Structure 1
Amino acid sequence: MKVLLADDHDLVRDALKAYLESEKDIVVTTVPNLSSACEAARKTLFDVVLLDYSMPGMNGLEGLDKAIEAGDGRPVAIMSGTASKAVAQEALAAGAAGFLPKTMGAKSLVNAVRFIVAGETYVPVDFMNAAEIERAHPIASELSGRELEVLERLCRGLANKEIARELFLQEVTIKLHVKTLCRKLNARNRTQAALIAKDAGLF
């Protein structure tokens, strides 16, 4: 089984590669960004392509379409350690063969990859249940998927510049999202917005 793994963090990439190659029948090719992933996918027919949601070139889910096209329709799954449940659902709706949280254990990751290669769509059951809870939350229901992504990063204490880098957006766009979040959450500032989200159990 040939797997293409694209992630811009060396340690994460190496760890995931080691997890997968602990299985004798899995061979993993690694690349650090979307352009390299697309180039590799055009040259080799991989059984599955795993894309980090936040790596350079992805531009949200635009990179998913490019990777699917480059791989001639072969399964492409999104991986993330930070993306919101809303993003996971959007990825599946956009044609992703699966959504793999980076918090998955080694065995679960291997099983997920095998499931996808078998032609199924994979998302952890507990992850989807949490997604339903999030959608049902009165605060979450008022926010867009992108606003939830920004809010989650505010809760992690990231500055606008850092959030912009993770989401591949302009810093001015993040400032607008933060302003909108403060208005929707009736918060005086970004710190209070994060506190409201945490107190509500959103993140």
Structure 2
Amino acid sequence: MLRVLIADDHDLVRETLALYLDNAGGFDLTLAADLDRACKDIERHAGFDLVLLDYAMPGMNGLEGLKRALDVNSGKAVALMSGIATRQTAHKAMDAGAIGFLPKTMAANSLVNAIRFMCSGEKYVPVDFLSGGPKGDEPHPLARSLTRREMQVLEGLCRGLANKEIARKLDLREVTIKLHVKSVCKKLDANNRTHAAMIAKAAGLF
């Protein structure tokens, strides 16, 4: 069994990735929602074959979190995943000692294969991310269609928050959040809030 730690503050992302790996078989998984919890789990389990960290989750502070995890994992493999980081960030992460960098836009089978590859000690970054396809420093087309406020609301949907909770977090009225949700669903061609969150997750926006 390959021992893998997945750390991501978005429940939907974390649990979906865990489901992919569970279905593939051969993985012993530990899940964490922030860097502090991840580091505690690494120490408690005496390291993992692979630690997979979300680049933007709480506690990361850019690549500082990567270096901290590398230290705690005693030189074993640590990789980053992100839906927003640029190509330049991926290069810096690899230079800093990451064994890999995974865009969240990768298909399920590709993700599973990449994780197995890194668990074996091999470095992995999608070639088209580093040298081809859309530029890493350009926003995702879906993100360009949404306003900053709509992106904030969509992030709340991806976290499974209710309108009231999103309104409290953004210091807005609940009725305003409802309007933003309606607009987000229309722009993403989503049937409902759950569908919108799934579209955002599949696109790697969060």
Q: Say yes or no: TM over 0.5.
A: yes
- 1:96 matched to 2:86: no
- 1:86 matched to 2:88: yes
Tell me which residue corresponds to 1:42.
43
**What is the CA–CA distance in structure 1 between the aligned matches of 2:148 and 2:28, rounded to whole Å?**
36
CA gap of 1:157–1:91, structure 2 versus 1, over 3 A, is farther
C-alpha deviation, 1:88, in angstroms: 0.8
Helix, strand or coil at the partner of 1:103: coil
Over residues 165-191 of structure 1, what are the superposed CA-to-partner deviations in whole Å (9 max), with x where a residue is unaligned?
A: xxxxxxxxxxxxxxxxxxxxxxxxxxx
Contact 1:42–1:70 (CA under 8 A) maintained in structure 2: yes
- Structure scoring higher RCO (CA < 8 A, sep ≥ 6) equals 2
C-alpha deviation, 1:134, in angstroms: 4.3
Tell me which residue corresponds to 1:56.
58
Q: Give matches, 1:44-193, under 5 Å.
A: 44=45, 45-130=47-132, 134=135, 148=137, 152=139, 155=144, 157-158=147-148
- Residue 130 of structure 1 aligns with an amino acid whose one-letter code is G
C-alpha deviation, 1:60, in angstroms: 0.5
- Residue 7 of structure 2 aligns with an amino acid whose one-letter code is A
CA gap of 1:152–1:24, structure 2 versus 1, over 3 A, is closer
Tell me which residue corresponds to 1:27.
28
Q: TM-score, normalised by structure 2?
A: 0.65
C-alpha deviation, 1:152, in angstroms: 4.0
**What is the CA–CA distance in structure 1 between the aligned matches of 2:71 and 2:44, rounded to whole Å?**
13
- 1:4 matched to 2:5: yes
Helix, strand or coil at the partner of 1:65: helix
Structure 2 stretches of 5 or more lacking a match?
A: 153-206
Over residues 10-63 of structure 1, what are the superposed CA-to-partner deviations in whole Å (9 max), with x where a residue is unaligned?
A: 011100000111122112110000000111111112110000000000001100
- Residue 147 of structure 2 aligns with an amino acid whose one-letter code is G
Helix, strand or coil at the partner of 2:39: helix
RMSD over equivalenced CA pairs, Å:
2.4
Tell me which residue corresponds to 1:200.
none
Matched residues, number: 147
Structure 1 stretches of 5 or more lacking a match?
A: 136-147, 163-203
Helix, strand or coil at the partner of 2:122: coil
Over residues 89-141 of structure 1, what are the superposed CA-to-partner deviations in whole Å (9 max), with x where a residue is unaligned?
A: 1111111100011111111111101111111110011111138x849xxxxxx
C-alpha deviation, 1:66, in angstroms: 0.4
Identical pairs, percent: 48
